[in-house]
């Protein structure tokens, strides 16, 4: 994986940093694993805008991803590594011996022609999925379930990884990408290795239009609004806006909003970094 800095032949390319895409092997997705993706533009069923600064963007089709990895004990061969417009990570098209094809999140170092497998007694190699109970301690993992059979929900974005720290009783202790350390049932599945495309964080759009291609509309600063529109609006001249807070008046930048009585708090050993 690499990034390229473009020559400043236009103002929009002066600061642009693009992905080298040297890990990508094809630009044509598998048709049978595509689904239409409807866009709301931030509107709800009544047509009212409930989410600001969304809309437009290039048309996309959804790639159906196998987050459950539930074909246990059946090896699959990596056919291609592909770009997915719906996520920051790359995806891999895998082919099973009976001809079935599936998309999975590609791990760092996954190569075309490599065999991956999920199940109880498989080797802890990159791309293989297994239960936390069977993964050696200290292993770097990603695509982790929170409930057995649910499918991966944690550490799925580009470059993300967690680490299996310990096991005690029916729970495993996992250090998550946020810095949080929490207990997860050992029967939950995880994939060995970090997620691909770790250079994603180095990419620079270079111009406002690139955000529009991604469906992001211009965002108005709260201090530029009127008092009727935002708690930080109004004031004579360039007023700083007072205490940072959301549109609903909830303080930002350090104010804890997590429910003290949340059920999952009992599984969190150490909170994420402030």
pLDDT at 273 over 90: no
3-201, which class in CATH? mainly beta
pLDDT at 1 over 70: no
Q: What is the pLDDT of residues 57-78, one digit of tens each?
A: 999 999 999 999 999 999 999 9
Q: Are 137 and 175 in contact (CB under 8 A)?
A: no
Q: Are 118 and 69 in contact (CB under 8 A)?
A: yes
Q: What is the pLDDT of residues 195-241, one digit of tens each?
A: 999 999 999 999 999 999 999 999 999 999 999 999 999 999 888 88
DSSP result, 82-140: E--TTSSS-EEEEEETTS-EEEEEPBTT--TT-EE-BSSS----TT-EEEGGGSPTT-E
Domains of the chain, by residue range, sit at 3-201
Q: What is the pTM assigned to this prediction?
A: 0.92
What does each C-alpha distance from 215 to 40, 80, 208, 221, 240 come to in angstroms?
A: 11, 27, 11, 19, 29
């Amino acid at each position: 994986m690499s990034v390229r800095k473009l020559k400043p032949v236009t103002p929009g390319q002066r600061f642009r940093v693009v992905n080298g895409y040297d890990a990508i092997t094809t630009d044509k997705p598998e048709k049978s694993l595509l689904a239409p993706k409807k866009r709301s533009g931030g509107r709800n069923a009544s047509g009212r805008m409930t989410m600001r600064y969304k809309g437009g963007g290039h048309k996309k089709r959804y790639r159906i991803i196998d987050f459950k990895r539930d074909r246990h004990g059946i090896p699959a061969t990596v056919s291609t590594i592909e770009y997915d417009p719906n996520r920051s990570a790359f995806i891999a098209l895998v082919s099973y011996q009976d001809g079935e094809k599936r998309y999975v999140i590609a791990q760092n170092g996954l190569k075309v022609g490599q065999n991956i497998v999920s199940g109880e007694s498989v080797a802890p190699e990159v791309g293989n999925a297994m239960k936390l109970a069977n993964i050696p301690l200290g292993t770097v993992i990603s695509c982790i379930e929170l409930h057995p059979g649910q499918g991966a929900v944690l550490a799925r974005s580009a470059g993300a990884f967690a680490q299996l720290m310990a096991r005690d009783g029916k729970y495993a202790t996992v250090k998550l990408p946020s810095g949080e350390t929490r207990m997860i049932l050992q029967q939950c599945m995880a994939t060995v290795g970090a997620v691909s495309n770790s250079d994603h964080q180095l990419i620079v759009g270079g111009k406002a239009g690139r955000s529009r291609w991604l469906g992001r509309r211009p965002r108005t600063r709260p201090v530029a609004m009127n008092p009727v529109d935002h708690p930080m609006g109004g004031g004579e001249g360039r007023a700083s806006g007072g205490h940072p807070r959301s549109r609903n008046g909830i303080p930002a930048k350090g104010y804890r909003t997590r429910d003290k009585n949340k059920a999952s708090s009992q599984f969190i050993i150490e909170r994420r970094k402030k």
